[in-house]
């Protein structure tokens, strides 16, 4: 966790993005590191946790990290928490909270509230369109015999 916090501080001071760092660990060994690069890399999704998971994919050459634990300098935002679910992590440790992030001007706490009522989201309008054709693509997927599930 001290390394995640050091990454957060170091790369924030270097002007790469917000004050966030993350480290992925397996069996006590560091697999990958990440830090926020949103404003320097023009990636709204380049949060520390996502960057760390991307680095882990390159290092491990797989897309599922069961058996790994993430140390994040801050409680993951909903995007990053869901990313950790998709990555099949065993556990997340975090230092600062979503409320600490909110107090520093980040939307984490707002997004948690918004996701909790995702069906009635008012911040970002969501509109169904071509719903039958959309479901049809999944029929193709179910029938695909050589698919790799994840």
Q: Closest by alpha carbon to 34, among 13, 8, 12, 15?
A: 8
Binder to a second copy among 23, 35, 88, 122 (CB under 8 A)? 88
Do residues 4 and 72 touch, judged by C-beta distance below 8 A? yes
Do residues 35 and 20 touch, judged by C-beta distance below 8 A? yes
Binder to a second copy among 27, 61, 120, 122 (CB under 8 A)? 61
- 134 makes contact with a second copy (CB under 8 A): yes
Q: Determine whether 49 is an active site residue.
A: yes
- 12 makes contact with a second copy (CB under 8 A): yes
The crossing angle, in degrees rounded to 10, of helices 78-86 and 108-116 is 70
Q: Which C-beta is closer to a second copy: that of 26 or that of 93?
A: 93
- 109 makes contact with a second copy (CB under 8 A): no
Subset of residues 39 to 58 that bind a second copy, contact rule: CB under 8 A: 39, 41-45, 47, 50, 53-54, 57-58
Binder to a second copy among 23, 24, 123, 145 (CB under 8 A)? 123
Do residues 41 and 20 touch, judged by C-beta distance below 8 A? no
Do residues 84 and 56 touch, judged by C-beta distance below 8 A? no
Active-site annotation, residues: 49
């Amino acid at each position: 966790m001290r390394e995640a916090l050091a990454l957060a501080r170091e790369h924030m001071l270097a002007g790469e993005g917000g004050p966030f760092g993350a480290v992925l660990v397996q069996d006590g060994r560091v697999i990958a590191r990440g830090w926020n690069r949103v404003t320097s890399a023009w990636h709204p999704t380049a949060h520390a946790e996502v960057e760390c998971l991307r680095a882990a994919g390159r290092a491990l050459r797989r897309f599922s990290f069961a058996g790994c634990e993430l140390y994040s300098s801050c409680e993951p935002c909903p995007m990053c928490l869901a990313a950790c679910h998709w990555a099949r992590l065993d556990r997340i440790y975090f230092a600062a909270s979503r409320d600490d992030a909110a107090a520093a001007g980040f939307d984490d706490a707002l997004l948690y509230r918004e996701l909790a009522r995702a069906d009635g989201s008012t911040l970002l309008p969501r509109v169904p369109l071509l719903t039958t054709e959309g479901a049809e693509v999944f029929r193709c997927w179910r029938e695909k015999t050589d698919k790799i599930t994840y």
